[in-house]
Chain A
Amino acid sequence: MKLSEIPQYIVDLARRLGATDVAAKLVESQRTMIRFSNNEVTVSKTFFENSVDVFLMVEKHRAATSISTLSLKNIKKSIENLIKVAKSTPPADIYAPLPKGPFTYNPELIKAPEIPLDADTLTGYVESAIKCALDKGAERAAGTLTASRFKVALATSGEVYASEEKASIELSIRAFVSELATGQAVSVASRLEDFNPEEAGRMAGEIAKAASNPKPGEPGKYMALLGPMVFADIASQVGALSSAFLVEAGQSFLVDKINSEVASEKFTLIDDPTLAGTLGARAFDDEGVPTRRNIIVERGVLKTYLHNSITAKKFGVETTGNAGIIVPHPWNLVIEPGGKSPEELLAEIDDGIYVTNDWYLRYQNYRTGDFSTIPRDGMFRVRNGEIVESIRELRISDNMLRILRNIVDLSRSRTWIRWWEVEIPTLTPYALISEVNFTKSRM
């Protein structure tokens, strides 16, 4: 049997064995990763994986599995076992049949661009990114380059048979002028023509250079300019926690906020997997439903949670095409731009702080949105619209809803962000935010 025939085989087998609903997704992937630090490669990795995820229901009884040994014998055994497990699983509170197809998918989303996976080409990209960072004054650079190709084939009992290809190339680079003067930048793309490792290297080097000789910052409330890497971290929280599953689990500051104002009217957040040629584009979700453009927050007002068919039935709405079989999630976040340049936004700050990157975002309370995160890499004191010095050792300790409501303006230019801290691809502008609370370690 060809690999591509496995999903339909599983659907037929599970139906014969008593499943009312089945979805089987085959993923064939190849990925190459080059990691570097101190201007040299530390390890090069290549991954080959073919596996199948199966979700099935016997009415309200649900079970799921992943199968990595794709012999017919093992698949048959796994499905027989899964049926037994499903039948002995207590019923869930509702039964939502898998969506009925067949569906029509956007042909532009089904084909992936060509992305090189060969070692020599990828090592060349790393070499040029490092060189650009050093040319801008960095002493050393570290980072990761990852190139991936995926093929997905999905069959469901709802008469869905769909397949698509995906590709991506992503560079994250951190430049060091000294231990305390660093800058980080990314270039992430699905099309090779949108990938610019040199620009990422240059930007990381420039931030690191500007961050030289940082002084300890003073805690307080400041007007803050958040660079795209920071604002992507915050906006992707809104995207991720708009999952109806997490809302129901209480793990979201968006609980009971549909049609409420959750942000400044400057903020519009869209999950848009229909943007062909972008990192998170995809034609269908894990239930085979065609993906669509969902406006999560429109001019500050929360418009929808993200759903699969099960959460949609619970909430009394239609699926948004965001399955995740168990947990729906966003695919490709887009923040609508503002009208000014980053420089114009900086010029609006009388007395404030510009933060280029952050990490380690943790909540005290997901429901209220109380959290903190740590700026890392270049952070700058701004007075009278100009950067006056590099600062360090401050932490953003605030509340998600307050930060979103305090958005003053956004930049016209936007950058696709995805890296270690931001998992969902997010097209992000600079954000000018008032009254951001910065705290500091004592002793």
Chain B
Amino acid sequence: MEDIAHYIIDSARNMGAEYAEARLQTDLRESIVMKNGVLEASVLEESRGVGIRILVDGSLGFASTNSMRRRDVERALKSAFKIARSASRLIKRKITMGKGELGSGKVDIKPRINFGSVDLESRVNLLKEADEQAINASSMLNVKVPSRMIVLDTWVTEKLVMTSDGANVYSVTPRAALFTFITVFHPQKGPAQRYFNLGETGGWEVVERWNLPKIFYDETYALSKVLMEAVKTPEGEMDAVLGPEVVGIVSHESCGHPSEADRILGREAAQAGETFLKPDSIGLRVGSNYVNVVDDPTIKGSFGFYLYDDEGVKARRRILIKEGVVNEFLHNRETASVFGVESNGSSRSVAYNREPIVRMANTFFLPGDYSEEEIFEDIKHGIYMKSFMEWNIDDRRFNQRYVGLEAYRIENGELREMIRNPILEITTIGLWSSVDAASKKPEFQAAYCGKGDPMQGIPVWTGGPHIRLRKVRIGGA
């Protein structure tokens, strides 16, 4: 690997590139797809190749190839060079790579249980047991589960990132992830649906710890209860408690994305859009003093874990909103250079054939000092949104909508009956400004964040504790 990387860097320098970066990446993935209790297929995927980025006359060129033969790598490099040079006529502000704490070394995440030591039969049996528990749970409420989709992925990413200015980081990262989509149905009530993701960095021990049969039982039981028992949601202005799953998506969508410096500069304007934050928004109040949101790739075992980003910059926690005030943006070296700051290690790429761009890792609301009970106790009339299905947000990350799935009415500090599809449709500043409490215990969920062109779905965690919103407008379907 190292030979090819050195060859790319040296050749790019000789060709006159101001900056060169070689990333050799292999992802070996095993997946099993189970639909309605039947294994559809076992899938093995090998993604192996090299991604090259160079700067020529202030123009950025990227090329990838999945052939490691010298002549094919050379062809890719020459193409990157040619296309960058050609585009330089349409560049007014020359791109430069800003400063960052460049790394050199090895990050080898050792699984306790190698994926290779777990045979297919064990994996399938685990999913079958989980699937059966979904059926058992729903039958407790006389509900059917006509559709169950489960996809279990395990994969190992081996990566070498080398840059012309000294980064040289080799890493091996195993990950496990599970996607589930469940439909419950009752002839009089119709269907209700839930999907969820689990994902962590680590070996098979991660999957064992999840206790999938219990998760499937609990999730399907809760979904069945929603179907059978939920009543019309109260509507109007009231207090609301958002559970960690909802707080996670809010933190990701309404703090993480707006804080991406490349969006602030307009680089994603035609796809994922821009952001209501501007280059001079550092110091802008966007929420109450109780709002603290961070993005942190360095959490061991997290789905978005890494210690060096894909430009070889050392990763660290980024405090995006501190006590309600915009504190820091997410930067790669390109945006850091424009803003006159150091990169905070936010450059990520999902595969060898994707350009590294500014990404989140694990974005979450920091815990507060309320117990789980205290956060509910002085709410006279409100709702608790524990989980959600539908959500979306505009491309400036300012107008968003979250529709609750498992949700309850709150009366005098107590959870009452389940309610159907309460809707929180609110502006970003409206939401963050209404927060007046956060509980002590955070929880995290796995997700794939979509961004870039070509699209890159990258592993992240979202999360946080319970938070309380005062006097927000709740709507109904």
Contact = CB atoms under 8 A, between A and B. Distances in A.
Interface of A: 32-51, 55, 62-70, 78, 81-82, 85-86, 88-90, 92-93, 119-120, 123, 126-127, 130, 140, 142-144, 172-174, 176, 179, 184, 245, 248-251, 326, 359-368, 370-374, 376, 393, 395, 397, 420, 439-443
B230 to A, nearest CB: 13
A124 to B, nearest CB: 9
B66 interface: yes
Contacts of B477: 364, 370
A41 B57 CA distance: 13
Given A393-B399, A443-B426, A69 B39 contact: no
A368 B400 contact: no
A46 B147 contact: no
Contacts of B79: 46, 48
B64 A140 contact: no
B172 interface: no
B89 A123 contact: yes
A376 B61 CA distance: 30
Nearest to A67: B46
Interface in B28-78: 33, 35-36, 38-49, 59-68, 72, 75-76
Contacts of B434: 443
B267 interface: yes
A47 B62 CA distance: 8
A69 B49 CA distance: 9
Interface of B: 33, 35-36, 38-49, 59-68, 72, 75-76, 79-80, 82-93, 95, 119-121, 124, 146-147, 149, 181, 183, 185, 190-193, 265-274, 353, 355, 389-396, 398-401, 403, 421, 423, 425-427, 430-431, 433-434, 453-455, 472-473, 475, 477
Looking at B47, B272, B399, the one whose CB has the most chain A CB atoms below 10 A away is B399
Given A119-B83, A359-B395, A374-B399, A51 B120 contact: no
12 contacts: A37-B268, A44-B60, A44-B83, A92-B38, A119-B82, A142-B269, A250-B183, A366-B193, A374-B392, A374-B394, A395-B399, A440-B399
B49 A68 contact: yes
Contact of B403 (A36, A44, A364): A364
A362 B64 CA distance: 32
Contact of B40 (A47, A326, A420): A326
A215 B266 CA distance: 23
A443 B427 contact: yes
Contacts of A41: 59, 87-88, 90-91
Contact of A420 (B87, B92, B455): B455
A179 B401 contact: no
B270 A142 contact: yes
A21 to B, nearest CB: 12
A364 B389 contact: yes
Contact of A65 (B39, B44, B62, B65): B44
Given A66-B46, A144-B271, A364-B390, A441 B72 contact: no
B382 to A, nearest CB: 16
Looking at B72, B271, B273, the one whose CB has the most chain A CB atoms below 10 A away is B271
Contact of A69 (B48, B89, B267): B48
Q: Which 6 A-B pairs have the closest CB atoms?
A: A250-B147, A443-B430, A119-B86, A250-B183, A142-B269, A360-B392
B149 A69 contact: no
A81 B42 CA distance: 12
Contacts of A366: 183, 193
Contact of B63 (A45, A50, A365): A45
Contacts of A65: 43-46
A443 B473 contact: yes
Given A33-B454, A49-B64, A250-B183, 13 more contacts: A33-B453, A37-B265, A37-B268, A39-B92, A44-B60, A48-B64, A48-B76, A64-B44, A70-B67, A78-B46, A88-B121, A441-B430, A443-B473
Contacts of A120: 86
Contacts, number: 275
A402 to B, nearest CB: 12
A441 B149 contact: no
Interface of A is mostly: strand
Nearest to B477: A370
Nearest to B45: A66
Looking at B79, B423, B434, the one whose CB has the most chain A CB atoms below 10 A away is B79
A372 to B, nearest CB: 6
A289 B369 CA distance: 63
A63 B41 contact: yes
A186 to B, nearest CB: 10
Contacts of B391: 362
Nearest to A247: B147
Given A184-B270, A395-B392, A36 B40 contact: no
A372 B270 contact: no
A416 B298 CA distance: 44
Contacts of B270: 37, 142-144, 172-174, 184, 420
Contact of B426 (A46, A143, A362, A441): A441
Contact of A374 (B62, B192, B393): B393
A393 to B, nearest CB: 6
B63 A442 contact: no
A40 B76 CA distance: 23
B453 A179 contact: no
Contacts of A361: 392
A161 B270 CA distance: 41
Contacts of A55: 41
B200 to A, nearest CB: 24
Nearest to A31: B454
B193 to A, nearest CB: 5
B44 A360 contact: no
Contacts of A142: 266-267, 269-270
A412 B46 CA distance: 46
Nearest to B82: A119
A119 B395 CA distance: 30
Nearest to A87: B120
Contacts of A35: 267, 453
Given A142-B266, A367-B193, A441 B427 contact: yes
A83 to B, nearest CB: 11
Contacts of A143: 270
Contacts of A39: 90, 92
Contacts of A443: 426-427, 430-431, 433-434, 472-473
Contacts of A63: 41-44
Given A35-B453, A374-B393, A62 B355 contact: no
Contact of B353 (A40, A47, A127): A47
Contacts of B392: 360-362, 372-374, 395
A44 B406 CA distance: 45
A201 B60 CA distance: 23
Nearest to A442: B473
Contacts of B65: 47-49
A174 B87 CA distance: 19
B87 A44 contact: yes
Contacts of B268: 37
Nearest to B34: A90
